[in-house]
Amino acid sequence: MSLSEKLYKWFDERLKLRELLPPIVKHPAPEKVTSNPLYCLGGTAFLCFLILVVTGMFLAMYYKPTPVEAYNSVKRIMTEVPMGSLIRSIHHWAANTMIAAVMLHMMRIYFMGAYKKPRELNWVVGVSLLLITTTFGFSGYLLPWDQLAFWATKIGTGIAGSIPVIGVYISLILVGGTDIGAETLTRFYAIHVLILPATIVVLLVLHFMMVRLQGISGRL
């Protein structure tokens, strides 16, 4: 018996994997999913999210979220840390690909009418995931703490602050004061590595559960 078989047997005796896994693993994918790449956009976005988690943990080991050290820590990752430039580049492109994949996925759902009954709740979850994904990109944009990141965030928080009634409060929560500074960087870092990942995991679990229960719709 190989090591992998021994491990499987050990876990199976304690978690009853033979009873739990078959209904999940052996669920056949519909033919329309395997023959049409448009149905793979959700999976592409999820794969990008996993890549972002792994590369993000690596970057967090070296990044220092303070105005004095943020830029230099990113510079060190790019120039001194072994494979740091590669990991950061993968993180960057995975983020862009995830945003594009989620947007295209939502467009596919909308134009094919797959948001209709009984999938309305899943559509709401999907829209929430889209908003969180774009917020991921926005919150991560400030972290290098260079001129481009500073002024882009200045414009973004200004737009958020212009929302009627609640804009002032949103701006205050994001900026942490009257102008972008150390408090803003700390908040954006916390949002990027703690709040958004926890939220997106919960929504992904709900999303996958509803897809599993309701199936994949391809109707027009």
Mean pLDDT, range 13-40, rounded to an integer: 72
Calpha distance 132→125 (Å, rounded): 10
Contacts of 210 (CB under 8 A, 6+ apart): 119, 121, 122, 125
Cβ burial 159-176 (10 Å sphere, 16+ → b, else e)? ebbeeeeeeeeebeebbb
Nearest to 140 by CA among 129, 126, 156: 156
Calpha distance 54→60 (Å, rounded): 10
Nearest to 102 by CA among 142, 132, 141, 139: 132
| Residue 220, pLDDT above cutoff 60 | no
Indicate the SS3 state at residue 134: helix
Instruction: Tell me the average pLDDT of the chain.
Output: 89
Any domain includes 18: no
Specify the amino acid at residue 213. L
The pLDDT of residue 26: 66
Question: Structural domain of residue 87, as residue ranges?
Answer: 36-214
Mean pLDDT, range 47-56, rounded to an integer: 97
Any domain includes 209: yes
For 75-130, what is each residue's pLDDT tens digit? 999 999 999 999 999 999 999 999 999 999 999 999 988 888 888 999 999 999 99
Calpha distance 89→87 (Å, rounded): 5
Calpha distance 213→208 (Å, rounded): 9
The pLDDT of residue 138: 93
Cβ burial 126-150 (10 Å sphere, 16+ → b, else e)? beebbebbebbebbbbbbbbeeebb
CB atoms within 10 A of CB 10: 10
Calpha distance 34→93 (Å, rounded): 25
Any domain includes 169: yes
Calpha distance 171→199 (Å, rounded): 20
For 175-192, what is each residue's pLDDT tens digit? 988 889 999 999 999 999
State in Å, rounded, how far the first CA of the chain is from the last one: 51
Our count of domains for the chain comes to 1
Nearest to 182 by CA among 90, 64, 74, 46: 64
DSSP string, 157-217: HHHHHTSTTTHHHHHHHHHSSSS-SHHHHHHHHHIIIIIHHHHHHHHHHHHHHHHHHH---
CATH number of the domain where residue 53 is located: 1.20.810.10
Any domain includes 15: no
For 141-161, what is each residue's pLDDT tens digit? 999 999 999 999 999 999 988
Any domain includes 13: no
Any domain includes 25: no
The pLDDT of residue 1: 72
